[in-house]
């Protein structure tokens, strides 16, 4: 298995994989409909989307973590 020290990279990989897959499928259906070659269209869109999504998640996730920390209240021990 992969060492836990690579958690952020592995998490980013799977997040990018699943999100780019779902979004590219939805957008492909929206743009061209359920045509005969939708799987080929989707896979091409997915491969492109993944190569954009993965480095974006790696780059943006620290900023998002900081924003979430600013928005959420600190839990107090009551």
Distance CA 47, CA 39 (A): 12
Distance CA 40, CA 10 (A): 27
Q: How many helices (H) and strands (E) does the chain have?
A: 2, 0
pTM for the structure as a whole: 0.82
Query: What are the pLDDT digits (tens) for 49-64?
Result: 999 999 999 999 999 9
Instruction: Kindly state the average pLDDT of the residues 25-29.
Output: 97
């Amino acid at each position: 298995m992969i060492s836990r020290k690579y958690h952020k990279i592995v998490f980013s990989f799977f997040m990018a994989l699943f999100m780019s897959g779902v979004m590219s499928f939805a957008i492909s259906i929206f743009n061209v409909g359920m045509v005969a070659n939708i799987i080929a269209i989707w896979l091409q869109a997915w491969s492109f989307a993944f190569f954009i999504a993965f480095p974006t998640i790696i780059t943006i996730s620290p900023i998002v973590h900081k924003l979430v920390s600013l928005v959420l209240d600190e839990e107090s021990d009551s």
